[in-house]
Amino acid sequence: GRARLSHSDPRGWDGRVGPEEEVEEEGWHGLYPGHIRTSPLQKALLAAGSAVVALCDPYRHDMVAVLGETTGCLALPNLRDKMRHHPEGYRILQERPRICLSTLDMSRLRELPDGSLGREYVRFLEDNKVSPDTRMPPKFVDDEELAYVIQRYREVHDLMHTLLGMPTNMLGEVVVKWFEAVQTGLPMCVLGAAFGPVRLSARKLQVLATELVPWAIRSGLNASCVLNVYYEQRWEQPVESLREEIGIFPPP
Amino acid sequence: CRCRALLRRPAGAPQALRGMAAGPDMHFGFETVTEEERREKIYQVFESVAKKYDVMNDSMTLGIHRVWKDILINRMNPTPGTLLLDVAGGTGDIAFRFINYVRSVRQQQLQRKLKHNQNLSWQEIFESYQEGNSNSLGDSQVVVCDINREMLKVGKQKAQHLGYSEGLSWVLGNAEELPFDDDNFDVYTIAFGIRNVTRIDLALQEAYRVLKPGGRFLCLEFSHVSNPVLSSLYDLYSFQVIPVLGEIIAGDWKSYQYLVESIRQFPPQEELKAMIEDAGFFKVDYENLNFGIVAIHSGFKL
């Protein structure tokens, strides 16, 4: 049988269909496709377990995602409120845009001038061999709007890399996590920022501590909420101008 | 009280019957589905859990499943020369234990024979060694039959890795319709598999058919805990912890949710005993392990 949307928000929280969403969700009883209802005890166990696994094996992205969802109960409503009180953020919440290969016109973005957000984003994806379709859909968030907020945060993560000019190696990821921790307050970001560096060499740690982290923190504090930017409408805008507008200092 | 909320089966009232597809209503965990849908869904569950099956078994049961399986083989007490059919035997746990057991029994047999024959000529002793070497299992054989390709694949890899080759065969087959002749096997086992069979009555009839007269049926399966205190604790653990373990270790909540629900849906000890008797088995009996969390049912074809 097809997935039933009758007992969920009629808006359907994802406006379009990415290739991964075409798989029908048989008999889901949650607030959105993929939602799994959990008791407080289960959430606590999930948070603890995913934290341990994510620390031991940082490549378990699914565990990082689960950790974010199970610990975000304070930070996510906060973020959602910030979005609601901002005109662009509010529009994003209404229109629910998604950043995935089916909604992006990659060839058009590639043809944009160098230095524009779209061109640099595509360059980042190609240089680091990543795709916007690898983000985990949320499962354990018990509010469908908050589920969208965390999904948006995940999809915007690659744009953060682009705006901060950081690659996807361990060092770059840690820097972005520091920035995101300051920006969003998500415990998962804070934990990632605090524990990520344990796997770095001494030399990298030094660069991290003396230059990159202070810059990331300063930018994070100075910048307005990054989820309040409708990136899909700003592909042509030069990265530097967007940085200035948001309040991110130029990378060291 | 909050405790009760934790013990209550999680949200998901059985869905309305769907589809005009053939087949009566059946359960898939706490959902209601058609027969065909159930087979498909169960196939998918095992396809997805196959690689982490053993790890998950160890985590969920804290390694105790190994003891349960050891006890099953102990109850079987096979002698060398036994032909065993292990149905839903996927990753080979029963098969490997069977081989170890008959091998050690065989060893003991040979040693006893040697001790007896202290006054043989050196030539006769040498010959008996030759015999011994090519027959460490004493002609025992085990056929592992499973409906799921992925599980068989994992089983074969394990066998290779652990060095099991002699006396072992792997067959893709359905417990409800076995690809074997009548009156073929000495023992039939199904360990933690019968719960996933859609038509248990058919599987039992097939078991009866393929066993030789005098053959034994053994079933190891999760069952019902009658003690109310233990039952509550068991429910709490099953519903609160096991799906979480599934998500953390295997990245698969849903399959393990299905697992704990399917245990609750499975017939309790006496009912299963009656079903086994219906299939024609005699001297049907069961033994509870761990207060009924698991039970071994046994019957004979006479």
Does A221 map to a domain? yes
The pLDDT of residue A28 is 55
Task: Determine, yes or no, domain membership for B1.
Answer: no
Highest mean pLDDT among A22-26, B23-27, B120-124, B278-282: B278-282
Q: Token digits for A220?
A: 């994070």
Q: Which residues of A touch B240 (CB under 8 A)?
A: 39, 41-42, 45
Is B19 within a domain? no
Residues of chain A in contact with residue B12, where contact means CB-CB under 8 angstroms, are: 27, 29, 37
Residue A4 within any structural domain of the chain: no
| Measured distance CA(B9)–CA(B18) in Å, rounded | 22
* Residue B193 forms part of a structural domain: yes
Find tokens 């009629």 and name the residue: A10
Helix residue ranges per DSSP H, chain B:
2-7, 35-49, 53-61, 64-76, 93-116, 122-133, 149-162, 200-210, 228-236, 242-245, 253-265, 269-278
Cβ neighbour number for residue B4 with a 10 Å cutoff:
8
Please indicate whether, in this complex, the C-beta atoms of A50 and B248 are within 8 angstroms of each other.
yes
A25 part of a folded domain: no
A48 lies within 8 A of chain B by CB: no
Q: Tell me whether residue B136 is in a domain.
A: yes
With an 8 Å Cβ cutoff, are B15 and A27 in contact?
yes
**CA Rg value for chain B:** 21
> Using one digit for the tens of pLDDT, what is the confidence trace for B157-179?
999 999 998 899 999 999 999 99
Contact B221, B247 (CB under 8 A): no
Q: Measured between CB atoms, which of A37, A45, A60 is closest to B244?
A: A45
Chain A positions in Cβ-Cβ contact with residue B254 (cut-off 8 Å): 36
A9 and chain B in contact, CB less than 8 A: no
pLDDT of amino acid A29: 66
In chain B, whose CA is at the least distance from the CA of A44? Answer: B244
Instruction: Give A 61-80 residues with CB within 8 A of chain B.
Output: 62-63, 66
Count of structural domains within chain B? 1
- Give contacts of A66 with chain B, Cβ < 8 Å: 247-248
Q: What domain range includes position A185?
A: 40-246
Query: How many whole angstroms separate alpha carbon A150 and alpha carbon A66?
Result: 11
pLDDT tens readout for residues B112-158: 887 877 777 787 777 766 665 557 787 899 999 999 999 999 999 99
Q: Which two tokens stand for residue B7?
A: 């013990």
Containing B298, the helix (H) or strand (E) segment is: strand B294-300
The contacts of residue B266 (CB under 8 Å, 6+ apart) are: B195, B221, B222, B223, B272
B188 closest CA partner among B233, B220, B155: B220
Owning domain of residue B153? 40-301
Residue B189 phi, psi dihedral angles, 5° rounding: -120, 150
Residue A7 tokens read as: 């007992």
Contact in structure between A60 and A53 (CB atoms under 8 Å): yes
CATH of the domain at B181: 3.40.50.150
Is B11 in Cβ contact with A45 (below 8 Å)? no
User: Please, which contacts does A36-39 make with residues 24 or more away whose CB atoms are closer than 8 Å?
Assistant: A36/A139, A36/A140, A36/B253, A36/B254, A37/A142, A37/B10, A37/B11, A37/B12, A38/A70, A38/A140, A38/A142, A39/B5, A39/B6, A39/B10, A39/B240
B288 pLDDT tier (thresholds 50, 70, 90)? very high
Tell me what pLDDT residue A69 has: 92
Q: Hey, what are A245's tokens?
A: 């507008």
Tell me which residue has tokens 């969802």: A69
Does residue A136 belong to the interface with chain B, where contact is any CB pair within 8 Å? Answer: no
pLDDT above 70 as % of chain B: 90
What would the mean pLDDT of B26-43 be, rounded to a whole number?
85
- pLDDT bracket for residue B286 (50, 70, 90): very high
Q: CB-CB: which of B15, B248, B254 is closest to A49?
A: B248
Within a domain: residue A8? no
Q: Is A179 domain-assigned?
A: yes
Q: Is residue A159 part of a domain?
A: yes
Q: Determine contact, residues B199/B191, Cβ cutoff 8 Å.
A: no
Q: Is B243 in Cβ contact with A42 (below 8 Å)? A: yes
Strand partners, B25: B34
Q: Report the domain count for chain A.
A: 1
Contacts 24+ apart (CB under 8 A), B37-41: B38/B198, B39/B198, B41/A26, B41/B258
Whether the CB-CB separation of B296 and B272 falls below 8 Å is answered with no
Question: Which of B82-86, B118-122, B262-266 has the least mean pLDDT?
Answer: B118-122
C-beta separation of A32 from A13 below 8 A: yes
The ranges of chain A with pLDDT < 50 are: 1-26
Q: Is the ipTM value over 0.85, yes or no?
A: no
For tokens 């934290």, name the residue: A51
